Amino acid sequence: MAWVRFFSFWIYPLLTGLLVFHSDVQRSQASRLLVLILIGLAIWSLLEYLLHRYFFHWTPQNPGMRKIIHQLHYNHHQDPRHPGKILVQPLYSLPVSGLLGWGFYWIGGSFLDATGFLTGLWAGFLYYEWVHYRLHLGKNSRGLLKRQRRWHFYHHFVDPDHCFGVTSPLWDAVFGTWASPPRHQENVTTEEQRRKQPPRHKKNWPRAKRPEPDSVAPSERG
């Protein structure tokens, strides 16, 4: 069901509205709230990179934790066009949001601070979810989406040890994991994606075959 699959896109705006309402934001606090939201966005940008690189590509020894990693990310690498394996399940995102909200409250010392941080964090997260979904299921992307698809598909089908950022290459550049994908990379065809080849990661993730330029669908050339 669509309302379940896109759970995050309605529950987090609803939670944001409830938090802002209960924060009783005054006019004099609006600028502070805006700054906190921007800080939350910046925090998400870094979290997106760190979670993808160090958690989603982690190979734990514990069977239970390994199962969680598979559900969160490995299964998506095996079947990147499956609609049910692209978006983060609320079973994982809601508890993490709760822990982060408590941490923001403890650091900031007020409900308003936690509200601002979480609002920015959720805005960044929902942008990430939207971009990720579009990259795998959308067609004929242009502009920024085209570049995002290029470096994300490089991560999927060529080298999973590079290009961990989905929405931005900023932290890949900072931490030395950026690679410059070939210009045809965003034109990996549906047939190529359906090969379901898991990428290489250390010794447990075999390398996916590099897509060839002549495999591009005629409608997606150029």
Per-residue confidence in pLDDT tens, the chain, 222 aa = 666 778 899 999 999 999 988 887 777 788 889 999 999 999 999 999 999 999 898 888 888 888 888 888 888 888 888 888 899 988 889 999 999 999 999 988 889 999 999 999 999 999 999 999 999 998 777 889 999 999 999 999 889 999 999 999 999 999 999 998 776 555 554 445 444 444 444 444 434 434 333 333 333 343
Distances (CA, A) of 24 to 19, 39, 90, 95, 110: 9, 20, 27, 25, 12
Per-residue pLDDT, 185: 54
- What residue spans of the chain are helical by DSSP H? 2-5, 8-23, 30-50, 63-69, 75-78, 90-108, 111-137, 143-157, 170-175, 190-193
Could you tell me which of 147, 142, 210, 145 has the C-alpha nearest to residue 183?
A: 147
Alpha-carbon distance 29 to 26, whole Å? 5
Is 123 in contact with 40 (CB distance < 8 Å)?
yes
Distances (CA, A) of 108 to 24, 35, 36, 112: 16, 13, 10, 8
Alpha-carbon distance 154 to 162, whole Å? 8
Exposed, middle or buried: residue 32 (CB in 10 Å: 0-12, 13-18, 19+)? middle
**Considering its fold, how many domains does the chain have in total?**
1
Alpha-carbon distance 206 to 132, whole Å? 23
Alpha-carbon distance 179 to 163, whole Å? 6
Alpha-carbon distance 63 to 73, whole Å? 15
Alpha-carbon distance 74 to 67, whole Å? 9
Side chain identity at residue 60, one-letter code: P
The token pair that represents 108 in the structure block? 């900031």
Range of the domain at 18: 2-220
Count how many Cα atoms sit within 13 Å of the Cα of residue 106 in the half-sphere of its side chain. 6
